[in-house]
Amino acid sequence: MEQATSDDRADLDVAGLSAADVAERVASGQTNAFTADTSRSAWNIVRANVFTLFNGIVGACFVVLLLLGRWQDALFGVAALSNAVIGCVQEFRAKAALDRLALLNAPRARVRRDGAEAEIAPPEVVRGDVLVLRAGDQIAADAVVVASRGLQIDESMLTGESDAVDKRVDDEVLSGSIVVAGEGAARVARVGAESYANTFAAEAKRFQLVSSELRTSIDRVLRWVGWGIGPIGLLVLNAQMMVAGGWVQAWQQGTWSQAVVNTIAALTAMIPLGLVLMTSIAFAVGAARLAGQKVLVNELPAVEGLARVDVICLDKTGTLTAGEIRFDDALALSEATGWTDVLAWYGAAPDANATARCLREPFPVGVVLTAARRIPFSSARKWSAVSFDGGGGVDGTWVLGAPEMVFGDAATDAGGELGAAVTRLASSGRRTLVLGHAGTPLTDADVDAERLPAGVAAVAVLTFVEAVRPDAAEALAYFRDQGVGVRVISGDNPRTVAAIAREVGLDVDEGYDARRLPADDDELGAVLEQHTVFGRVTPDQKKRMVTALQARGHVVAMTGDGVNDALAIKTADIGIAMNSGAAATKAVARLVLLDGRFSHLPSVVAEGRQVIANIERVSMLFLTKTVYATGLAVLFGVLVMEFPFLPRQLSITDGLTIGIPAFFLALLPNAQRYVPGFLRRSLSFAIPAGLVIAVSLTVYTRVAMQIGLATAPLRTGATIILAIVAIWVLTVLSRPVTRVKVVVIGAMFIALTAIFTVPPLGEFFQLQDPGDDGATLVTLVVVLALGAIEAVRFAHRRFVRRSLADVSAGAGGVADEVRRRPAVVTAAIVLVYVGGLLNTALGIVVLLARYAVMPDLVLPVSLVGAATVLLGLLTIAGGSALSRGSSLARTLLTVYLAVLVALQAAAMALTELDPILVVALVAALAVIASMWVPARARRWFRGDAASLPAAGRVSR
């Protein structure tokens, strides 16, 4: 059927290019083949993982050591290279998965060739092609309009101008802009790299950085280290040269090379290389996991971003509802000739939107009508108007649109016939439109000004129904439980939106009419804090609402699927689009739900929380190392002492206590709720823990020098101290210790034991017997350091608990009832800590006894000592779980202690430490008895709250 105006028919009938023309342009390279990646480019991945300041420092140190012939001390270079390769491989894998999804879900371009319309991929568009433009399309290439019928283009993504621009014949349209109303045709003028979007706007549209607390905090730490590494390096170098006899003597005697090696050891330890790597891997793996759930992530930090969101704004249509609308009923209010034929014309129009197309079945075309003048539908106006040429007996002007936008307050006044009908129908959850009629036709001035003639009267109220998404209620309940505020924003009648919101579980009475929203942004923010559901919202208002919430300190997510949501989605901290939505909306979104399932959002939040929580834990490992390395460098530089490690020895502790276990910790499940202040919490542990380690090693070195330990045994003792204390830091930060974490920690400790036990490895790493005095000193320093680390963690947990309590109180969280712990369990916990420290110390003594026993006993003594140290550490780690009444912790601790009893018996047979071992054995048996024998302890671990008094209510 011909629905266009007579003046437009010739313009719209553009044949387009022939097949031969297309082939000629393809052969000459005049195609639109320019692909903007939806994920990080290969160069960006390589640059982020390889070409960094700290990799440059590490590379320079690596080369210096090779030139000095000290390749054994250059192991850190191999580790740094491996980190870079692993990071690149992980991100390339994630990129490949995301790019495949992006390719499968790329928007299509509609062109006219050989007189027929065809949909092709945007890269297949050639210069001279005729683009067929309809509402919702994203323009694939720069073009010149050759036909227009009410064509309106949103160029906000390119120019920043939020108002749609009318486009007439000979006007230019830019690639990347969006058709928001009307239809037309445009001949392509510029393609590929020449187009406006690809030369300027595409990068900003696709890769505008998501606000990332993790990335910002880590960058800040790297800047701090970068500023300090130069002066600290000079301080250390000066101290090492002075220890070597002074600058002149060291140079003359050749001892300067060892001073340089010591300095390199100090500097490379300060650099948290793996922290950036672990963050990148966690983001990449998170994005790849979400890709498997049909969630396309346009930028990796968006995984973190949604976990930080505290307000989520939802568009009703296509988000809470399935986006499938159907005609329900028509309530006639007055007699007007031909009104059903007008509805048939609206439904059959080629540019009919989804709502108008619902009219095709109930109102089939019986009388052919030809439009004389027309004002196309606009999401800003929310109505369209048409005057016919008089054929079919239909005259005057007909208006179809939102009742409130056409008739104003009369549509909401329950005292009038129209208002009563609209209010009643909208309150039932139905979507309402009104068909109005005026006796006078549209004039050219009316069309140009987009205004209605006077005297429009309501003819009929039309109702439509939408299917609510079955997963919407569950997802909204999840956000409500997590303290995330929900705002439902829609262009529909406020009562309709409120009814849908109630259906998905939101506790709302009546929607807020957006026509009453204040113009002042501060007042707008106050309204948004008080109300949940908003109707009759224009696209510009959606953007203002997002901005107003952000101005009040909220992290805002916006979901939607229509072109009218694109501005708000782009403005929000995290924009989420449904795959069923317009191509332009998906292009500006951070996340795209490819199967349109709203229920994926909790999974995205969970993935983001896992990334944040695990990186926070991993960062404390790396930052502790940076702090103690910096502290050692400063202390040894100021005290002019020889640095107590070779680079190869630091490679042991870095790899086995931080680098390798951090890789596993960064990917473990973790549902801890996001709390702002990532860097503050990390440093609140890392700084005191790092200082404890630095001071402990400094005191050890000073005392070891006073008792006359040689350089090699002194370094061995320092390496043992650092290895055990670093393993303990790893264990402390891994709490609660699960089976997987036990395996990781145990494997790292076994690897450390092998290095100290296997003769070839001991020779390579220059590990020598520290002697009896050295062993005693090492044991004493380790026990004191472990006790200090435990005190730091205790204080840190209280600090974090206060932070969580503040957040819980702010979110209106309900406190939990806490049972009073029986005294016998408290005694068991105290014994666990004391016994764990005692067994750790005994394990060190037994381990060092390998130097004083017969050769055939070296291996069994080493194994017994190492196992005792490990189980002592794991015993202490399980102590905190006892306070929560964990029956699993009780079982694991019983197993640990039983093995310790066996190890103590073996040590008694292999060594002469019987009195001390007897005390440790008795303590282990006492802990087992206190956990299993008393009735109150058994009830505590069964969780039988009825028989235990409450200790009051405290926050989580």
Query: Quick one: which H or E segment has residue 574?
Result: strand 574-578
Q: CA–CA distance from 554 to each of 613, 616, 802 (Å)?
A: 20, 22, 21
Name the nearest CA neighbour of 467 among 502, 429, 495, 433.
429
The reply to whether 561 belongs to the active site is: no
Contact 494, 517 (CB under 8 A): no
Q: Which of 8, 73, 154, 315 is catalytic?
A: 315
State how far the Cα of 640 lies from the Cα of 181, in Å rounded to an integer. 76
Q: Is 445 exposed, middle or buried (0-12, 13-18, 19+ CB in 10 A)?
A: exposed
**Residue 929 is encoded by which pair of tokens?**
């008895």
State how far the Cα of 820 lies from the Cα of 177, in Å rounded to an integer. 64
Q: What are phi and psi of 802, to 5 degrees?
A: -65, -40
Name the nearest CA neighbour of 879 among 839, 925, 927.
927
Alpha helices (H) along 349-388: 354-357
Pairing of strands 485-489, 311-315: parallel
Name the nearest CA neighbour of 781 among 705, 695, 866.
695
State how far the Cα of 628 lies from the Cα of 696, in Å rounded to an integer. 10
Q: Count CA atoms closer than 13 A to 800's CA, side-chain side.
A: 20
State how far the Cα of 651 lies from the Cα of 765, in Å rounded to an integer. 10
Neighbours of 908 (CB within 10 A): 16
Name the nearest CA neighbour of 782 among 871, 712, 844.
844
Query: Quick one: which H or E segment has residue 622?
Result: helix 600-638
State how far the Cα of 697 lies from the Cα of 707, in Å rounded to an integer. 15
SS3 content of the chain, % helix, strand, coil (to 5): 60, 15, 25
Rounded to 10 deg, the angle between the 771-810 and 711-733 helix axes is 20
- 3-state SS record for 409-423: HHHCCCCCHHHHHHH
**Residue 417 is encoded by which pair of tokens?**
């016939």
Count, residues in the chain: 956
Which DSSP letter does residue 593 get? E
Alpha helices (H) along 639-677: 647-654, 660-665
The residues assigned a catalytic role are: 315
